[in-house]
Structure 1
Amino acid sequence: MKSLLILVTILYTTKTSYSSCYWNENCHYKYFSSKTPYEFVRGDIRDSVVIKPGCEPVSIWGLLRHGKRYPSTRFGKSMNEALAIRDNILASYEKGRSSLCAQDIEDLNAWVADKKMFDAAAELTPEGYEEMFGIGKRIRHTFNDLLEKLDKYTFRPAFGKWIEDSAKAFVKGFNNDKLHIEKALPESDVMAPYLTCGKYQKDVQKNPNIYAESEKYKRTSEYLATKDRIQRRTGIDYELTDTNVTALYDLCRHTWSGVESKLSPWCALFTKDDLQVLEYIQDLRSYYRNGYGTAQSEIFGQIPLADLLRSFQKVKEGDGKKMTAYFTHATMLDMVYTSLGLFKDNKPLSSANRDRDRKWRSSANSAFSVNLVAVLNRCTKNDEIDYNVVFYLNEEPIRAICADGTCTWKEFEEKLTPFLNTKIDFCEFKSEPY
């Protein structure tokens, strides 16, 4: 009887270990907050485009986050230092202290760092280029009649080489070498007005207290249990710090490839629950820095929306542009969502309760290359002309702005007209954007 019990225990342990191997999981968790590859959240506007009978697109306006980039200098330094932990993980496995699977250990041991990940801080990655190129290509294909002879247009990036390169990749997707990209303005006007707003930079962007909820969450039993699981799973013989955990998480999410569907062996250090907990920390950070947790966010978000309204009004008046595209940061997209009332939860996000069904999810809303696009359609019925507007997020129609996903001109104008008089005189002084 005792021998049978031992055998059952061995079989159960083996089955449990095998079923938790990262390399052969059936469904990997692919959502890494603002570092999520675009491929995991995008639709395809070629399939999802909404054009009602008797209507034709006459203008497109878009706000796009830059493509996947290498980590900033600060985070890159922490990630580089965390590489040393790999040796400890491998040694712990050899001593029987790790619960990682053999193949996951082999993959981690064989992993070779992309030198540019640490030497090319914040530059656009090859995958980021492919993300932006693909968006441009699909938009060009979908609205071919409008964009084939593109004469009146604006392509303008916010300041930053990775953003400027994202704009180049997007425009390359149009397969038209004659298209011109405007020079980035240091103040970033429509694309990032918050960058030079002194009071906002002081009180929010550079204020560590804005992250109070995410720091409180790191003291909850839920986060501490996650940290303990990582500790036990890796078998490391010294206590991991929060900085270590963040750096290992960054190694996981920066080394996933969405375009190539290539797993990161660093993600084997985490369970699905671990990744969801770490994702929530990032949600709390973006919610209170860029979203509903900060009053100024709604005001800043109104500025590009006012530009959208003016752009379409000019088209209606017989002037205007066929295409307007601004390239910016995730922060700006978050602010625009806030102005539009998108992804708003009934209660503010809190360290005390991780709502698994929350609407504010940075993995979907602020992934690399996320984009908000509005299309103005001119419709003719009984010799009368009317207009409607369809909003798209990541190449899928948004149905939360107007009831059936298509805004009448009246609905569109009423929603955005209040933004025309938006002022940011609360800034008090200008700050350097970078």
Structure 2
Amino acid sequence: MQINIWGILIACFAVTLDFSSCFVNKSRPSIPRIAKYFGTKGRYEEVNPYLLEDILAVNTSILRPPFPKCRPIHLTAIIRHGTRYPTGSIFKHMQQMYEAVKSATPGKESWVCEIQNQWRMWYPQNTDGRLARKGVDDHKHLAVRLSKLFPSLLSEENLRGGFVKFISSSKHRCINSTLSFMAGLTELWDIQDQTFDYEVNDALMKYFIHCTKFLEDVVRNPSALLEIDKFKEGPEMRRVREKIGYQLRVPYKNITADMADAVMNFCAYGLAIKNVNSPWCECLDEADAQVVEYTNDLRQFWKRGYGYDINRKSSCILFHDVFSRLDKVVSENMSGQQVTEAVTIQVGHGETLLPLYTLLGFFKDDEPLTSSNYATQTQRSFRPSFVLPYTANLLLALYDCGEGDLRLQPLINENPVTFPGLPEGQEASMPLYRDVREHYKELIRGCDFETECELFTRPNQFSIKDAL
């Protein structure tokens, strides 16, 4: 039997041309245009873009004290874990969105074709929010940067001498972030003859699962998150759902607000974990992304932020731990003793940091975030995208400026900030420690965790997992 090889090749070539016309991959920038709206799924580099050029870059001039005699004597760093894989609940909605698209009518746009025909669900189902390789690097790099910012504190000598303390949440992603931070230091100084310990302390780093009033009044209370539910059903989110359904050929009624959030997560995790601009990113323009971001900001506001007083009060135990440590350093320093804890590295969650920020008064707007004021909140301070990316951190640097002049400098994500409510001026970024204590005196005297978190009625049964 004769075979017309040329005919077969020509036919195959023609089919290939026809088939691949759907797969023309338009050139996309390396960073999605919606990356700055990823909320708590955002990269640390979106908050500090200069790190894209040099991941170990620091600007030591930001720490320049108002007086030349100032020298740092202690650093407390409360840090969120690094980049992680999706948790089970997030993965479920991503899987629903993926299956809906795979079974939809084929689209014609190149990026839709990529999703339907080329893109594959690469997220391991059993990761349960485990630390990604990028998360390991996040903490290694942060360790090196902090050692460059505070070389006299986060030093090889202090590490070897036991003057650097490590505390972690028991969650695997936090422990692995802590180990990664340590590895950043030991690799920097090529330490091979010594190992270092860390303390697991959920009372400090996962205090929110031990606050019964918070769990009952917020986590397990359906009405507590009413504003989020209302916004999900509102006109802004409806428009986004309709647009996603139209673009991906999925009936609008099959697209939930959680699935719209999953579209954003496909884009966010692709960038954070794989450093790619996924075709999913094309589903949302900046206006769409802002709506999805606001949905998540509402959740953070009402579940962890200013929405309910117990949210911030749940962090009282961590607040007191911080000030007890600072008081001890002050006492040791004033009496001429060596400071026994030069650096404290505490690794926890976004849920660890946000209530503490709220308790301290950071990122508070004049009006609360609600389902009905989206249009007027475009300039809001409460923006987890800028505040709580992976590896977000609160740094408190205590300085001795001579003659009993002790000053405290707060930094958020390595950028100097001022304590809300303290007088502004030249010294605002590094106020006297006694003025900071005076400003927060009501919280220092009160804000008892046991009292604030106690329920005076018998609590219902609840699952700790619900709080995570």
For Structure 1 versus Structure 2, the TM-score category normalised by the shorter chain is 0.7 to 0.9
Cα shift readout 1:197-249 (whole Å, capped 9, x = no counterpart): 22321221222322210111122212211111112222325633314323333
Q: Which whole-Å deviations, capped at 9, do the CAs of 1:326-346 have from their partners, x for residues lacking one?
A: 111111211111111111110
1:59/1:111 CA distance change after superposition, 3 Å: same
Distance (Å, rounded) in 2 between the aligned partners of 1:63 and 1:323:
11
2:377 equivalent to 1:352: no
Q: 1:202 corresponds to which letter in structure 2?
A: E
Which residue type is aligned with residue 413 of structure 1?
Answer: R
CA shift in 2, pair 1:317/1:400, >3 Å: closer
- Please list the CA deviations of residues 286-307 of structure 1 after superposition, one character each: whole Å capped at 9, or x if unmatched: 1011111011122223332222
Number of residue pairs the alignment of both structures matches: 400
Q: Deviations over 1:229-277 (max 9, x none)?
A: 112222325633314323333222222237x642122111111111110
The corresponding residue for 2:409 is 390
Per-residue CA shift, 1:24-71, capped at 9, x if unaligned? 599712121111112211377820541322111110001111112111
Stretches of structure 1 that go unaligned for 5 or more consecutive residues are 1-20, 95-99
Structure 1 position 410 matched with structure 2 position 430: no
| Residue of structure 1 aligned with 2:292, choices 271, 274, 278 | 278
Deviations 1:374-422 (A, max 9, x none): 0011113xxx242111111011011354533112122222134433342
RMSD over equivalenced CA pairs, Å: 2.5
Matches within 5 A, 1:24-423: 28-30=33-35, 31-42=37-48, 46-47=58-59, 49-52=62-65, 53-88=68-103, 91-94=105-108, 100=109, 102=110, 105-106=113-114, 109-116=117-124, 118-148=125-155, 149-150=157-158, 151-175=162-186, 176=191, 178=194, 180-185=196-201, 188-237=202-251, 239-242=253-256, 243-257=258-272, 261-318=275-332, 319-354=339-374, 355-380=377-402, 384-401=403-420, 402=422, 403=424, 404-420=428-444, 421-423=446-448
Contact 2:398 2:406 in 1 (8 A): yes
Cα deviations across residues 66-85 of structure 1 (Å, max 9, x unaligned)? 11211122221232233223
Q: In structure 2, what residue type is equivalent to 1:335?
A: P
Query: SS in structure 2 opposite 1:357?
Result: coil
For the structure 1 residues 179 and 414, does the alpha-carbon distance in structure 2 shift closer, same or farther, using more than 3 Å as the test? farther
Contact 1:158 1:164 survives alignment (8 Å): yes
Query: Identity percentage over the alignment?
Result: 23
Other-structure match for 1:4: none
Aligned amino acid, residue 428 of structure 1: E
Question: Does the C-alpha gap of structure 1 residues 253 and 115 become closer, same or farther in structure 2, counting only changes over 3 Å?
Answer: closer
In the alignment, which residue of structure 1 is the partner of 2:22? none
The one-letter code sitting in structure 2 at the alignment partner of 1:114 is: W
Alpha-carbon separation, structure 1, partners of 2:32 and 2:434: 44
- TM-score under structure 1 normalisation? 0.85
**Structure 1 residue identity aligned to 2:354:** D
Structure 2 residue identity aligned to 1:427:
C
Return the letter of the residue paired with 1:422.
Answer: C
| Structure 2: stretches of 5+ with no match in the other structure | 1-25, 52-56, 333-338
Q: Distance in 1 between matches of 2:464 and 2:239?
A: 39
What secondary structure does 1:156 align onto? Answer: strand
Q: Distance between the aligned counterparts of 2:176 and 2:280, measured in 1?
A: 28
Amino acid at match of 2:45: E
